[in-house]
Amino acid sequence: MKVLIIGGAGMIGRKLSERLARDGTLGGREISALTMYDVVAPTAPKGAKFAVKTATGDLPAAGETDKLVIEKPDVIFHLAAIVSGEAELEFDKGYRINMQAMQNLLESVRHAYANDARKPRVVFTSSVAVFGAPFPDKIGDDFHTTPLTSYGTQKAIGELLLSDYTRKGMLDGVGIRLPTICVRPGTPNKAASGFFSNICREPLAGKEAVLPVSDDVMHWHASPRAAVGFLLHAATIDGDKVGARRNLSMPGLAVTVGQQLAALRKIGGEKVVARIRREPDPFIQKIVAGWPSNFDPKRAVSLGFKADSSFEEIVRIHVEDELGGAIA
């Protein structure tokens, strides 16, 4: 089977490609070829037994998505996006990449596979940003999508398009709303949600981190490993079981900052937690207060999507996958 990852240079795209290289199969079928595409050059995973091609380009440019599906991949992961903060500052750029390119991709697939009985599975990464405050205590599967950012709006539109093209039999889409990914590897960034990862990643590596909110702030987390698991499951799940509602809130862990700290202490000891400096930041506190913090993702759970078991597991995954097991 042929696999295409759009957005293959991002953290999730890279981890997904590494997992595919390790497994060699997807849903029990042997992978024959993988194409990784992004605006910057993706890195091919090491040790793949199948051919890996990397490509770069401007996804929403005319004809670009046509070129991407010319070899008719069986599974298309569409992970490419302008992130929340940038989509808010760059209105046109956000719509161009997050909405126009999505529509172009669906159109390209529709026409490329028009005469094929078997349509490709298109896995679309949506986001909990499709929801906007005020929220119930737990956001259920039938809560409306009233986003409060352009990014959330664009993702919600992508979900609607994915459902309609699927309903019309033009392709076979599954959209997954990812929780905040934690612990995000790499360097600290200025995203308002960055601290949830920073307070884990930096102290575990012997560095200081800043905590701008109080211990009782709750948030909805999934590890990078769990996120890759969601993607693989979305790529292989029986579409009939998903039914007409093609977009699913993924399971996650509703964890307070206090519980994050307790898990860090358990795994890294007091010396690790001591590297976190409290610096209350009303600006970040206000943004975080507008985010959804807890879900009741019954459908995804019943369909077999699996969250991490605890925040300790999330921290352990980071130590194993990013630090080679060593805590500073």
Task: Give catalytic residues, as residue numbers.
Answer: 151
Q: How far is the CB of 245 from a copy of itself (least distance, A)?
A: 5
Q: How far is the CB of 76 from a copy of itself (least distance, A)?
A: 20
User: Pick from 45, 73, 147, 212: which binds a copy of itself (CB under 8 A)?
Assistant: 147
161 interacts with a copy of itself by CB under 8 A: yes
23 interacts with a copy of itself by CB under 8 A: no
Q: How far is the CB of 250 from a copy of itself (least distance, A)?
A: 16
223, 318 Cβ separation under 8 angstroms: yes
- Binders of a copy of itself in range 184-243 (CB under 8 A): none
112 interacts with a copy of itself by CB under 8 A: no
213, 195 Cβ separation under 8 angstroms: yes
13, 78 Cβ separation under 8 angstroms: no
Across 28-62, b (16+ Cβ under 10 Å) vs e yields eeebebbbbbbeeebbbbeebebebebeeeebbee
Q: Tell me the CA end-to-end span of the chain in Å, nearest whole number.
A: 42
- Binders of a copy of itself in range 267-306 (CB under 8 A): none
User: Pick from 116, 144, 282, 283: which binds a copy of itself (CB under 8 A)?
Assistant: 144
22 interacts with a copy of itself by CB under 8 A: no
35 CB-near residues (< 8 Å, 6+ apart): 2, 3, 4, 5, 8, 52, 53, 54, 55, 68, 71, 73
User: Pick from 244, 270, 283, 324: which binds a copy of itself (CB under 8 A)?
Assistant: 244
Q: How far is the CB of 175 from a copy of itself (least distance, A)?
A: 11
Q: Considering CB under 8 A, how many residues would be counted as binding a copy of itself?
A: 23
Alpha-carbon distances of 293 from 235, 248, 282, 288, 296, rounded to whole Å: 26, 16, 18, 9, 11
Residues lying near a copy of itself in the complex (CB under 8 A) are found at 91, 132, 136, 141-148, 150, 153, 156-157, 160-161, 163-164, 167-168, 244-245
